[in-house]
Structure 1
Amino acid sequence: MNQSQILQEVQHVINKGEKTIATIGMTSRRSNDFAILPRRSAFGFEAINFLVSNEHAAKECLKLLDNKVKYIFIDVEAKKNVDLMKIAQQMIKTSKLVPYKPNDATLEACDLFILNYFHHFLHDRHLLIYGVGNIGTKLALRLAERGAKVYLYSRNVQKVESISAALNSILPKYTGSKITPLQKISFSNYFDGIISFISAEEIIDEKMIPSLKNKAFVLDGGINNFSKDFYKKRTEKCLNCYRLDVRLGFAYTLLPLFDNVNVFLKEIQGREVIDGVVIVSGGVIGEDGDIVVDKVVNPTQIVGVANGLGGLKHASDYTKEDQKNILKVQQALSKF
């Protein structure tokens, strides 16, 4: 590990104060002990990012980062037999540890990319996902729910079949089409795009090109998934090729640092009494007759009357007491 590289990255954020972040992640791929990833920024936060592949590299990196950044985000997805969070809890004395799931941020980045590529309209787009690991599987469900016609392919035919069946069993009832597992790819000029999430390199070759439409998009989410011959011959169909840049999902990673959770718990969720009437909000299950409002601090809206089961009474079932209490709360709300 090159310690000077880490310190150089630290210098990039050293004067950013409270909005400095270092992320430390792992990969299931074979890789060097240590790598520096592109910097990320959003909402005033600046992040430097590192990839480690073993316990020794993790410890060395953490040692140099403690007290140099406000937050250290730790990858909690078990990609190797290394407990990064446990190591971080032992090593970090000053910086604040935040657990995060980079695979979820990658999923969000991929979803945003595809949405924007198709101008937010995926209905009837034929999309092939190559790879049925963690991200490919989640993405298949997401795209199918958005109305795309999703096809799954992997060298492990049995896994493709079982995952497709599982995903189809949980898709909403009125989803336009089911996710289709493929044992082989024999289509011609059919797919509007292909997204790859596999750990092996240069697996997808030029034989895949005939199945893609002219000007189809190609998105490599797994790094080096496509062969050189694929890229050499992509011009035959004017394919638009990209490598997924996960910085697109960085805003998702930052959510734990925003104050919205505390605001929700302190100002929206709760149980209070207004003019002798119990009000509830934010998912609190009220007793039969409690008045459900939009927020417990300075409420502005009456949502309904609690039925005591976590739902709302139908207006036809309101008692005289319910109607009286609604009127009391309405009068109180007009004073806020």
Structure 2
Amino acid sequence: MEIKNILQKELSNLQNYTHKSIMISTTAKHALAFRVLPRRTISRMSMACFMINDKNSLEETLSFFDGEVDYIYIDIEQKQDLNLFKTARETIKKSKIETVKPNDITVESCDLLIRYFLNDDLYDKKVIVIGTGNLASKIATRLAERQAHVYIKGRNNEKEITVTEALNIFLPKHTPIIKTMNQIQETEKVDVVISFLSGQLTNEETIFPVIGENSFIIDGGINNFSNDFIQHMLSVNINITRLDTRIALPYQFLSTHDHIHTFFKEVYGQAFIKGVPVVAGGYIGADGTVIVDNIKHPNQVIGIADGLGGVKVSEQLSEADRSRIYEIKKVISTSN
């Protein structure tokens, strides 16, 4: 089927929804030039998804949907020589371009899946993370911060040591340190095994001793485990799951959420109210500026800025400072 017919089919499905969008991503692995991925829907928004690794296919897809959809989500992580964002910026004239980081969505999905499975209690749980790359390092850090005992398994012990030492440098002080897998006792059974490899795990037998009847195995890299391994896990009723990144779909839409738009339009910034300088939303004000909770519709006075990013204590307030606070509180009271 020609690409144009495929695109028309996806557009026809999108017409059934109030808000329409498409998502274009790529992969670091060898892949087809053009591939349709599973559709995604949330509330009244539907998204047609494509994996594109060819510039001509990319330009044709972008041109076809430009103006037909509200948003075009572009994978900003450059995994191939093809720069999706650069091409989209040059091609799109009508639809709104939004960048996304699929790796972050993958980590969020994995985190949510584990929290669901463990009833949001990772304290003292044992987790093996297979891999030493981007995704593996991110999820290892995330789970260690959730007070799990994390063990990293790489392709060789040298890589494991390098990554664990690097990650432990910036973990919070009292967080359980991340260790290499050879530091786990063979008699211990782990709660979770996560694989984030770019290919299939070659020495699966090394993790058999630590897998127990209650272990939860996640294939995050997709096809990381052999057919024999999967069949064996299923035969002994071990829960093995392929990670579905639709779990964290709302995270992808965060930049277009009403709350975010409202924050930047009404909460964040600096302004003058009745001639009094005010700031809100973390905006650092000059000495004497009144800090409020909302720049457009303030309901609370936080204090007076000290010009250094902090808030003056009561003893530091001048008469002019107190006068400004009084004026803003009077505006708030009148508005309410």
Q: Please, what TM-score do these two structures have when normalized by structure 2?
A: 0.90
Instruction: State how far apart, in whole Å, the 1-side matches of 2:270 and 2:74 are.
Output: 35
**Counterpart for residue 248 of structure 1:** 247
CA contact (8 A) 1:153 1:184 kept: no
Letter in 1 for 2:35: A
Q: Deviations over 1:83-141 (max 9, x none)?
A: 11222233334333222211111111111111111111111111111012111111111
Question: Which residue identity is paired with 1:121?
Answer: D
The amino acid of 2:7's aligned partner reads I
Aligned partner of 1:37 in structure 2 is: 37
Q: Which residue of 2 aligns with 1:203?
A: 202
Instruction: Give 1:239's aligned amino acid.
Output: I
1:154 has 2:175 as partner: no
Q: How does 1:143-292 map to 2 (within 5 A)?
A: 143-175=143-175, 177-182=176-181, 187-201=186-200, 203=202, 205-235=204-234, 238-292=237-291
Once the two structures are superposed, what CA deviation does each residue of 1:251-271 show, in whole Å capped at 9, x if it has no partner? 111122223343222311233
Q: Structure 1 residues 30 and 156, CA, compared in 2 at 3 Å: closer, same or farther?
A: farther
Change (3 A) 1:213 1:331: same
Residue number in structure 1 paired with 2:327: 328
Residues 122 and 272 of structure 1, relative CA distance in 2, 3 Å threshold: same
Q: Deviations over 1:166-199 (max 9, x none)?
A: 2211111232x11113358763342101111111
The answer to whether the 8 A contact 2:70-2:95 is kept is yes
Specify whether residues 332 and 29 from structure 1 end up closer, same or farther in structure 2 by C-alpha distance, changes over 3 A only. same
Name the counterpart of 2:134.
Answer: 134
Q: From the superposition, tell whether residues 286 and 66 of structure 1 become closer, same or farther in structure 2 (CA, over 3 Å).
A: closer
State how far apart, in whole Å, the 2-side matches of 1:196 and 1:215 are: 17
- Answer whether contact 1:204 1:225 (CA < 8 A) is retained: no
Structure 1 gap ranges (5+): none
Identity of aligned residues (%): 36
Q: Secondary structure at the match of 1:30?
A: coil
Q: In the alignment, does 2:297 pair up with 1:298? A: yes
| Structure 2 residue identity aligned to 1:55 | K
Q: Could you tell me whether the CA contact under 8 Å between 2:189 and 2:215 is conserved in 1?
A: no
Task: Identify unmatched segments of 5+ residues in structure 2.
Answer: none
Please provide the CA RMSD for this pair: 2.3
- Structure 1 pair 277/221, CA: closer, same or farther in 2 (3 Å)? same
Q: Which residue of 2 aligns with 1:68?
A: 68
1:209 counterpart letter in structure 2 = F
Contact 1:204/1:227 (<8 A) preserved: no
Cα deviation for residue 245 of structure 1 reads: 0.4
Partner of 2:97: 97
CA distance in 1, matches of 2:309, 2:174: 26
Runs of 4+ in 1 over 6 A off after TM superposition: none
- Measured after TM superposition, the shift of residue 67 of structure 1 is 3.6
Partner of 1:84: 84
